[in-house]
Amino acid sequence: MLQNQAIERLPRHLHGWIIERPYDSYTSQDQAIWRYVMRQNVDFLRSAAHPAYLEGLRKTGISIERIPDMTTMNSILGRIGWGAVTVDGFIPPAAFMEFQAYRVLVIAADIRPIGQIEYTPAPDILHEAAGHAPIIADESYAAYLQRFGEIGSKAFSSASDYELYEAIRHLSILKADPRSPAEKIFLAEKTLEAKERSLGVASEMASLRNLHWWTVEYGLVGTVEKPLIYGAGLLSSIGESANALSKAVKKIPYSIDAVYYNFDITRQQPQLFVTPDFDWLGKVLDDFADRMALRKGGVEGMLKAVDSGWPATAVYSSGLQVSGLFSDCLILQNQPAYIQTTGPTLLSYANEPLQGHLPDQHAHGFGAPVGRIKGLLKPPRYMDKADMQNLGIVEGKKCSFEFESSVRVEGELFSELRKEDKLLMLSFRNCKVSHQDRILFEPSWGTYDMAVGEALTSVFSGPANADAFGLSYPKPLEKTHAIEHNDHERKLHQLYRQLRQMRESTSRPHELMKGFSPSLTTYPDEWLLWLEAVELAIQLSDHSLADQLTDGLRAISKRQPSLEKLIYRGLRLLGI
């Protein structure tokens, strides 16, 4: 594992997403793609990006010349309190948000193929390392990114959200593989369209995903009339970054209304949002968080928890946290009266597990009332010994009392749990809990640990302590496609390697270059190889050879008009 404090703080369940990508698996063509995109981006972004981007490139040490290795990246990112790990393409939004909350960038290990050099539908190392990493050197923006992760990791998703994620991942994997059959891509596009149509009401995560897309990925900053780029998707896309600032793309002042704008990850965006500054991003995020079960709790939160089908946490007003798979909630007068989990359940306080209340000790679920107790004027979390005696709740004796919801508890008190002068729990033997004719707990089920609190102040997705709960994410059904190169391609990569070696050589290998030139005819349409050869000829002051190779490049652009802009940009940087 990489030596980095941010990575070392990650909970165990996130380590399952981390993969190793041997650095030598990047081909010399991959390195040339990185170099071309970075040189183009830096040239354009000097005037088009937020000043923090270029400053961030310097601070993070992201090289223009070659793909960064993760050890170096983590050494540099560690100085600003961040880390980076490699993952296999898209990971689920909840996991992505968790990494972000721990100040760790997830970097898709692959790099886009040459056919997608302007824009890739799948995350790649150019997008992550050259897009995300530099801008987080800005403290204000980094604070927003971490805060987004903290809030986003607690957002509720729906079952259809995960199906949509799988459909997006599948399509991006196909589109990133230059060998994917067109009919498979077409079918995947149709499947994705069908999943999007069947989503129904947007979940919290779906709405947050939109906010994330229009800020972190595709955000503009400044004024609508004169915006600058800060979103990683734009910073890493030489095609879309220029288009983003043109009049062809509508510019909208950023507000919470961005949650209503969905996006297509495989296409360039028809509109973008402009924030006046990075502080405004945090204000909008905070406004949205106020709408979430995380801050509202109550019935709305419990319904989201039950519907999600995923472990969640309900927080009592006493501070007690109940984490498990919620299966039911008794609702009376639009208030939760009794909550119930199924399967292993963790009880915590301030995100720390309570001794004796780990998941194996509540392996079959946990149920408890919510609300005020009849005859007690104060909130039950402030109930002291005298209050308990007045209600007949005395340790070692049989007692019976009722909540205002009519939930009734009958049993023998044998212990109580308090934290910071607040009553969190009462534990009973031989206990029966009921609501009218419905039995909620029977004596034969064992000890009854009754949570105490008059309200649920917060309900959020995921356990309060993931490691103690033993949380694990389901792994994606499909892995990104490993590209197997044939002999023709391997020889091409060798030519790229030879060009780099000659370019970086201090011996000025004029004769080697002249002997190399005929090899280009074996790859008459490999425009990037030809472009690098032109650059080397100029570096060697061989103007005749440079002119000859430039003519070859222009012939390629005539044969393949789709490459004309890429070739033009490359020659322009060389002063041609």
Q: Same domain for 281 and 404?
A: no
Domain boundary among 287, 318, 346: 287
Task: Report CA 366 to chain centroid distance, whole Å.
Answer: 31
What are the structure tokens assigned to 122, written together? 């799948």
Q: Same domain for 318 and 459?
A: yes
Q: HSE on the CB side for 29, CA within 13 Å? A: 21
Q: Same domain for 280 and 428?
A: no
| Cβ(435)–Cβ(406) below 8 Å | yes
Does any domain span residue 99?
yes
Q: Same domain for 431 and 505?
A: no
* CA 135 to each of CA 51, 69, 211, 557: distance values in angstroms, whole numbers, following the listed order: 9, 18, 18, 34
Does any domain span residue 474?
no
Domain count, the chain: 3
* pLDDT score for 512: 63
Q: Same domain for 453 and 506?
A: no
* Three-class SS state of 427: strand
* CA 255 to each of CA 139, 203, 223, 294: distance values in angstroms, whole numbers, following the listed order: 22, 19, 13, 21
The number of helices, as runs of H, and strands, as runs of E, in the chain is 24, 17
Does any domain span residue 294?
no
Q: Same domain for 465 and 491?
A: no
Q: Same domain for 498 and 463?
A: no
* pLDDT score for 426: 98
Q: What is the dihedral of CA 563, 564, 569, 570, to 10 degrees?
A: 60
Q: Same domain for 76 and 191?
A: yes
Does any domain span residue 299?
no
Does any domain span residue 274?
yes
What average pLDDT values come out for the chain (576 residues) when binned by 10 residues? 82 92 92 94 90 86 88 86 90 92 91 85 82 89 96 92 87 86 92 84 91 95 96 84 88 96 80 97 97 97 95 98 97 96 98 96 97 96 95 95 97 96 96 96 96 98 96 84 88 93 75 72 93 92 90 94 94 93
Domain boundary among 253, 287, 321: 287
Direct distance between the N- and C-terminal alpha carbons of the chain, in angstroms, rounded to an integer:
46
* pLDDT score for 239: 75
Q: Same domain for 276 and 343?
A: no
Amino acid at 480: T
Does any domain span residue 293?
no
Q: What is the pLDDT of residues 121-166, one digit of tens each?
A: 778 888 888 888 888 989 999 999 999 999 999 999 988 888 888 8
Q: Same domain for 150 and 92?
A: yes
Does any domain span residue 553?
yes
Q: Same domain for 545 and 457?
A: no
Q: Same domain for 273 and 378?
A: no
Domain that holds residue 518: 487-573
CATH of residue 277's domain is 1.10.800.10
What are the structure tokens assigned to 469, written together? 């709960």
- DSSP secondary structure string, 271-326? EEEEESSHHHHHHHHHHHHTTSHHHH-HHHHHHHHHHHTS-EEEEETTSEEEEEEE
Does any domain span residue 475?
no
* pLDDT score for 132: 86
* CA 470 to each of CA 128, 159, 345: distance values in angstroms, whole numbers, following the listed order: 29, 21, 10
Rg (CA), the chain: 29
Q: Which residues contact 281 (CB under 8 A, 6 or more apart)?
A: 141, 144, 215, 219, 254, 275
